[in-house]
């Protein structure tokens, strides 16, 4: 097989030898004992060995001869009717957090929510989830949540909430509220009943105004839509209907607007098979490397300040206007191509810039290519974001001038994330009555006089209307854990209403749905949607394009370096969830970095900053620290992470870091050590119309170094071919292209040399199912085991995978996977059973050539598993269902299996992460992740899965607990298992339907059909030639572009040539 050039990092590309040396080393840290060449010369002599032996035997004896403790079996005093201990209940509900929406199913065990699944009945999110949705269950059990109403007391480390009562605070508020104008400041609210409650409240207190504020603002879009279409709202984007998608800086698969919805429809529109080798085309213009850019067919970079220029150029190209000079030839070329494609119809342009002028131009393009009514839907509008920047600016001004008598802040944290947070903070101090409803003592809560914490969404009744007419209900999975009160109840109390919110909510929907029965059905389904397909409609365009273009051209792009503030896919919206250890430890899809904040720079920029780009750069965790100074004078020191695909003049910094101590242990930023990162929001600015997320910046190198825990280079394949990628043209011309490659690789081994089949193979053109079977049989000396009953198989479509990481967190939540903390990620000790490998190809110094591909990697459950053969105690062995089993209680921790695993998917418990050891004080502690072991947080653990203790190996089990449960259910009913009943956690989490799982022995199953019929031409197994016979297959990626960069034969010193 030709060796395509994919690389995980620059060092692999540049100096393979030193990289190899590091990668080969099993232990990253220095070992505490001597590894000398001869046994006799070892500095650990025989006597020491005997001492250790004697001690450990004695210690084991002491421990094991302890008496069994007396355990109690305590039943319910009065058992709730709907709970059967040991059996999970599922409740349809709604995830909603300041604009991020997802229809979900909450799994509760014995009355506590432990897992979130997507709700497939919703036509919006269609069962998809994101990493944040998966991790939201951990927020419920966050130790840093406020537990009672009160007011902040003390400061710094002694800051706490002084307990008060709801009644006492209600009294103060009611007295203060009428005196002067007041403000209710919330995030975007999409709940119809909450809006009703707010209306009641505002009616009672006419001097109170409601202002909506979004930390990451979409005000530019809302304003442009109002000007162009007369609708201050957002349309619905139908990515599945688009033939051409042009995204100008919109990371719609990662962070923009509604990623779960978009990932679902995007992947639906991009399904490809050999029978129907057609594919839409996705152009991406962006400044930093995003997951959306990785999925794009064509990707070109520009500065964030040039985005308006690109939009103008595209507009002129589409409408036949004058050519606009663009900064790079690649951009010009791409704009021309994109415009040509857009004119073919069914096009769509989306733009991530928060700028009225640019959004007006984008609207004009969409109007002129006829997107409105075909791919962009104005008949069903979206309510995700409602904040207008000028209103927030006006509020801040009003507060600063002392006109405001009261402010009520719910769900937003402007002291941390507002562009002019200093002004806001100072102004807030002037407000006599300030109440914060936030769930924790965040930066804003600290500055408010009263705290009335709201429930978590898993404790609340509620509803959402993400799109006009599409209703989604929210029901609690648990009673409120603490003395909290919902915003709606608080406002109703203040408004003097006699009903509580739960009753009002129920009456509202019972009336709306027409009766109790309908209401109950709606509650059970979780969603109520209009019948039939979503109605699609256009809108009349009335925007002033000329004015917008003039405004764009009046603003000159930045010439020097530029800083871009972006959101992390994991922590997401506004970075409010930075105290979630699961999300902090989830490797970023692009940088693969965990835990801390850093500055993303291109390789070329890094070199100019004197950051060493030698072979050890990426495997060495010590990163050069630079000082970034924004145009407004705000400066921070941050370590750099080299990201191929970054624009050479752009430095990207993520928000969600640099948090206050009281936000939580995991989030807290330490100013001395730099742990916890730095706040990037102050780099943003308000330009009088909109908040801009980029600014001119000066960057200077420092002599400092800082550790960044990056996972991608931890587990290395040593340049073996593992991903397959083709251009659409290649694939359409010859769908058998992959099968031919597989045939070259292993075809001749499918028969024995003296057998007929073997000889025929030489001439046969392509690999097929029969050859695969023969290869299985003949490629080994072992007998070929017949799998009679069920045989599990999993398929991952590399073409659909967007690298979002929902599967990683879904797996973590389902399987009690430990969080190890930064210190141990640095030592390669991360425990994720499912990881997403990211590979680059292209020329590192030219960001426009970079292509990125993701490959989720998990235990391949090899039928001829290398790990099974080397286990001295048979702790890992094969089941009759094709599962590579791992018996923790038999494992003695030799780690032979991990060393022998060619996929590097086995993870060893180096420490007692969860207090599962029998030694009580053996538990690993590192402060930032310690809350995971709090009794409250441990309620999130799945009781069906063992919590592993120190010294054992672990890895993906194919969610065996789910498979066993599905089988048991079928057995109890007395019928065979149906396809789709046994589903893995990663499969259910995936928003882009990339994962298929099932029984391959069932000819009707989707996995069997996928491998043998529908996608037979794209199916391959990783490292198939070593005859591991994996039960996990991958589907090759198809890119609708002219060239797969990685198609070049490997060139030594590629890096040296280009950097």
For the CB of residue 999, give the shortest distance to another protein in the complex, in Å. Answer: 8
Distance CA 149, CA 499 (A): 21
Cα 557 to chain centroid, rounded? 32
Distance CA 751, CA 1028 (A): 17
| Complex with another protein: residue 84 or 542, whichever CB lies closer | 84
CB atoms within 10 A of CB 60: 10
Distance CA 580, CA 715 (A): 25
For the CB of residue 58, give the shortest distance to another protein in the complex, in Å. Answer: 6
Instruction: Give backbone dihedrals phi and psi of 808, rounded to 5 degrees, phi first.
Output: -60, -45
Query: Taking Cα atoms as reference points, which of 532, 526, 433, 434 lies closest to residue 477?
Result: 526
Hey, what are 837's tokens?
């490998």
Residue bearing tokens 């000082």? 627
Distance CA 534, CA 642 (A): 43
Query: Taking Cα atoms as reference points, which of 995, 929, 946 lies closest to residue 815?
Result: 946
For the CB of residue 746, give the shortest distance to another protein in the complex, in Å. Answer: 29
For the CB of residue 915, give the shortest distance to another protein in the complex, in Å. Answer: 12
For the CB of residue 951, give the shortest distance to another protein in the complex, in Å. Answer: 13
| Complex with another protein: residue 484 or 957, whichever CB lies closer | 957
Q: Output the CA–CA distances (angstroms, integers) from residue 507 to 205, 263, 520, 966, in the order listed.
A: 24, 35, 12, 37
- Give all strands of the β-sheet with 527-528 in edge-to-edge order: 234-237, 376-382, 462-467, 470-474, 527-528
| Complex with another protein: residue 569 or 891, whichever CB lies closer | 891
| Complex with another protein: residue 67 or 533, whichever CB lies closer | 67
For the CB of residue 868, give the shortest distance to another protein in the complex, in Å. Answer: 11
Binding interface with another protein (CB under 8 A): 50, 53-54, 57-58, 61-62, 64-79, 84-87, 786, 788-790, 877, 879-881, 883, 885-890, 944-947, 957, 960-961, 964, 967-968, 970-972, 974-977, 1001-1002
DSSP H or E run through 725: strand 725-727
Return the CA Rg of the chain.
29
Following DSSP, what letter does each residue of 775-839 receive, concatenated? HHHHT-SS------S--EEEEEETTT-----HHHHHHHHHTTPPP--HHHHTTT----SSEEEEE
| Complex with another protein: residue 615 or 882, whichever CB lies closer | 882
| Complex with another protein: residue 307 or 790, whichever CB lies closer | 790
| Complex with another protein: residue 481 or 534, whichever CB lies closer | 481
| Complex with another protein: residue 556 or 975, whichever CB lies closer | 975
| Complex with another protein: residue 671 or 889, whichever CB lies closer | 889
| Complex with another protein: residue 325 or 973, whichever CB lies closer | 973
For the CB of residue 950, give the shortest distance to another protein in the complex, in Å. Answer: 14
| Complex with another protein: residue 180 or 878, whichever CB lies closer | 878
Angle, CA 357 vertex, CA 353 and CA 361 arms, to 5°: 90
For the CB of residue 879, give the shortest distance to another protein in the complex, in Å. Answer: 5
Distance CA 929, CA 289 (A): 29
Distance CA 231, CA 1037 (A): 39
Query: Taking Cα atoms as reference points, which of 415, 400, 287, 352 lies closest to residue 682?
Result: 415
For the CB of residue 132, give the shortest distance to another protein in the complex, in Å. Answer: 27
For the CB of residue 864, give the shortest distance to another protein in the complex, in Å. Answer: 17
Are 325 and 306 contacting, i.e. CB atoms less than 8 angstroms apart? no
Q: Output the CA–CA distances (angstroms, integers) from residue 263 to 118, 445, 983, in the order listed.
A: 13, 35, 20
For the CB of residue 978, give the shortest distance to another protein in the complex, in Å. Answer: 11
DSSP H or E run through 150: strand 150-153
CB-count exposure of residue 336 (10 Å: 0-12, 13-18, 19+): middle
| Complex with another protein: residue 698 or 964, whichever CB lies closer | 964
For the CB of residue 458, give the shortest distance to another protein in the complex, in Å. Answer: 23
Helix/strand/coil (H, E, C) string of 853-882?
EEEEECCCCCCCCHHHHHCCCCCEEECCCC
For the CB of residue 131, give the shortest distance to another protein in the complex, in Å. Answer: 24
For the CB of residue 887, give the shortest distance to another protein in the complex, in Å. Answer: 4
First to last CA, the chain: 29
Distance CA 868, CA 876 (A): 5
Q: Please state whether beta strands 599-601 and 470-474 pair in parallel, antiparallel, or not at all (unpaired).
A: unpaired
| Complex with another protein: residue 332 or 984, whichever CB lies closer | 984
Residues 6 or more apart whose CB falls under 8 angstroms from that of 103 comprise 92, 94, 95, 118, 119, 121, 122, 124, 125, 472, 526, 527
| Complex with another protein: residue 68 or 325, whichever CB lies closer | 68
| Complex with another protein: residue 936 or 970, whichever CB lies closer | 970
For the CB of residue 647, give the shortest distance to another protein in the complex, in Å. Answer: 47
Hey, what are 14's tokens?
């540049």
For the CB of residue 56, give the shortest distance to another protein in the complex, in Å. Answer: 11
| Complex with another protein: residue 83 or 764, whichever CB lies closer | 83
Distance CA 181, CA 270 (A): 52
Torsion sign across C-alpha atoms 514, 515, 518, 520: positive
Torsion sign across C-alpha atoms 984, 986, 989, 994: negative
Hey, what are 910's tokens?
């180096």
Residue bearing tokens 């490998």? 837
| Complex with another protein: residue 348 or 886, whichever CB lies closer | 886
| Complex with another protein: residue 328 or 946, whichever CB lies closer | 946
For the CB of residue 878, give the shortest distance to another protein in the complex, in Å. Answer: 8
For the CB of residue 803, give the shortest distance to another protein in the complex, in Å. Answer: 28
Are 768 and 761 contacting, i.e. CB atoms less than 8 angstroms apart? no
């Amino acid at each position: 097989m030709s060796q395509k050039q994919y690389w995980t990092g620059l060092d692999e590309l540049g100096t393979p030898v030193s990289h190899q040396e590091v990668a080969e080393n099993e232990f990253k840290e220095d070992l505490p004992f001597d590894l000398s060449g001869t046994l006799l010369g070892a500095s650990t002599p025989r006597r020491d060995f005997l001492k250790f032996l004697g001690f450990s035997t004695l210690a084991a004896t002491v421990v094991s001869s302890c008496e069994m403790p007396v355990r109690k079996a305590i039943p319910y005093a009065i058992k709730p009717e709907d709970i059967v201990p040991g059996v999970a209940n599922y409740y349809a509900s709604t995830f909603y957090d300041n604009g991020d929406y997802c229809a979900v199913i909450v799994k509760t065990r014995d009355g506590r929510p432990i897992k979130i699944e997507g709700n497939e009945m919703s036509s919006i999110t269609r069962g998809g989830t994101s990493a944040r949705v998966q991790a939201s269950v951990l927020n419920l059990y966050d130790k840093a949540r406020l537990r009672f109403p009160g007011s902040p007391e003390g400061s710094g480390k002694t800051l706490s909430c002084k307990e008060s009562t709801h009644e006492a605070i209600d009294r103060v508020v009611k007295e203060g509220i009428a005196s002067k104008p007041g403000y209710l400041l919330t995030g975007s609210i999409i709940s119809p009943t909450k809006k009703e409650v707010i209306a009641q409240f505002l009616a009672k207190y006419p001097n109170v105004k409601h202002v909506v504020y979004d930390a990451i603002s979409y005000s530019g879009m809302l304003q442009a839509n109002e000007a162009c279409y007369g609708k201050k709202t957002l349309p619905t984007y139908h990515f599945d209907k688009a033939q051409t998608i042009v995204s100008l800086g919109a990371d719609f698969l990662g962070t923009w607007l509604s990623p779960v919805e978009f990932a679902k429809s995007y992947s639906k529109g991009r399904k490809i098979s050999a029978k129907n080798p057609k594919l839409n085309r996705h152009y991406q213009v962006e400044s930093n490397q995003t997951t959306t850019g990785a999925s794009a067919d064509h990707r070109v970079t520009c500065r964030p300040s040039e985005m308006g220029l690109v939009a103008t150029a595209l507009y002129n190209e589409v409408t036949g206007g004058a050519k606009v000079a663009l900064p790079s030839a690649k951009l010009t070329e791409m704009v021309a191509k994109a415009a040509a494609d857009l004119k073919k119809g069914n096009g769509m342009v989306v733009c991530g810039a928060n700028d009225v002028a640019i959004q007006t131009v984008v609207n004009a393009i969409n109007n002129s290519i006829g997107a409105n009514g075909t791919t962009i839907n104005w008949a069903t509008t979206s309510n995700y974001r409602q904040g207008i920047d000028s209103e927030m600016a006006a509020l801040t001004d009003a507060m600063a001038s002392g006109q405001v008598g009261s402010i009520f802040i719910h769900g937003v944290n402007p002291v941390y994330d507002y562009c002019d947070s200093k002004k806001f903070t100072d102004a807030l101090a002037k407000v006599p009555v300030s109440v914060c409803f936030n769930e924790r003592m965040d930066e804003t809560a600290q500055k408010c006089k009263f705290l009335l914490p709201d429930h978590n969404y898993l404790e609340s009744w509620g509803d959402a209307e993400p799109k006009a007419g599409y209703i989604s209900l929210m029901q609690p999975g648990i009673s409120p854990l603490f003395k909290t009160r919902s915003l709606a109840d608080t406002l109703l109390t203040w408004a003097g209403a006699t009903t509580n919110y739960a009753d009002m909510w129920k009456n509202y929907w019972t009336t709306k749905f027409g009766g109790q029965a309908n209401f109950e059905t709606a509650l059970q389904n979780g969603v109520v949607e209009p019948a039939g397909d979503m109605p699609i409609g256009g809108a009349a365009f009335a925007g002033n394009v000329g004015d917008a273009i003039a405004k764009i051209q009046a603003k000159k792009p930045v010439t020097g370096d530029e800083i871009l503030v972006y959101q992390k896919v994991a922590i997401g919206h506004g970075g409010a969830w930075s105290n979630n250890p699961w999300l902090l430890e989830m490797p970023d899809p692009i940088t693969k970095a965990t835990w801390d904040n850093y500055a993303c720079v291109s390789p070329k920029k890094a070199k100019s900053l004197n950051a060493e780009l030698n072979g050890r750069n990426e495997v060495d965790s010590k990163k050069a620290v630079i000082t970034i100074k924004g145009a407004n004078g705000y400066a921070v020191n941050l370590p750099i992470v080299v990201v191929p695909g970054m624009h050479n003049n752009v430095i990207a910094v993520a928000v969600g870091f640099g948090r206050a101590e009281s936000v939580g242990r995991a989030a807290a930023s330490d100013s001395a050590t730099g742990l916890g990162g730095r706040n990037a929001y102050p780099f943003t600015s308000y330009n009088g119309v909109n908040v801009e997320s980029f600014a001119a910046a000066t960057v200077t190198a420092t002599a400092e170094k800082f550790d960044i825990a990056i996972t991608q280079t931890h587990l290395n394949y040593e340049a073996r071919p593992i991903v397959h990628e083709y251009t659409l043209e290649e694939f359409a011309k010859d769908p058998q292209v992959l099968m031919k490659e597989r045939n070259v690789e292993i075809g001749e081994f499918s028969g024995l040399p003296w057998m007929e089949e073997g000889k025929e193979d030489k001439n046969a053109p392509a690999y097929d199912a029969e050859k695969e079977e023969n290869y299985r049989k003949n490629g080994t000396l072992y007998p070929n085991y017949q799998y009679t009953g069920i045989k599990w198989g999993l398929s991952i479509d590399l073409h659909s995978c967007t690298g979002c990481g929902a599967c990683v967190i879904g797996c973590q939540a389902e399987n009690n996977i430990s969080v190890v903390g930064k210190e141990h990620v640095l030592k390669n000790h991360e425990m994720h059973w499912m990881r997403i490998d990211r590979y680059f190809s292209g020329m590192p110094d030219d960001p426009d050539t970079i292509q990125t591909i993701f490959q989720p990697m998990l235990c391949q459950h090899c039928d001829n598993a290398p790990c099974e053969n080397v286990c001295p105690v048979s702790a890992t062995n094969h089941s009759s269902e094709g599962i590579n089993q791992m018996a923790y209680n038999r494992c003695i921790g030799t780690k032979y299996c991990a060393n022998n695993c060619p996929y590097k998917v086995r993870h060893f418990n180096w420490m007692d992460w969860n207090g599962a050891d029998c030694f009580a004080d053996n538990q690993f502690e590192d402060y930032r992740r310690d809350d995971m072991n709090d009794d409250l947080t441990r309620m999130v653990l799945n009781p069906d899965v063992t919590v592993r203790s120190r010294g054992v190996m672990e890895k993906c089990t194919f969610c065996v607990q789910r498979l066993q449960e599905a089988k048991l259910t079928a057995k109890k009913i007395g019928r065979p298992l149906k396809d789709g009943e046994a589903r893995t956690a990663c499969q259910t989490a995936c928003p882009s339907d990339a994962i298929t799982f099932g029984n391959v022995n069932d000819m009707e199953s989707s996995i069997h059909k996928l491998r043998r019929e529908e996608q037979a031409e794209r199916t391959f197994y990783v490292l198939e030639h070593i005859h591991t016979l994996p039960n996990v297959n991958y589907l090759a990626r198809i890119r609708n572009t002219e060239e797969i960069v990685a198609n070049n034969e490997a060139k030594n010193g590629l890096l040296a040539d280009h950097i």
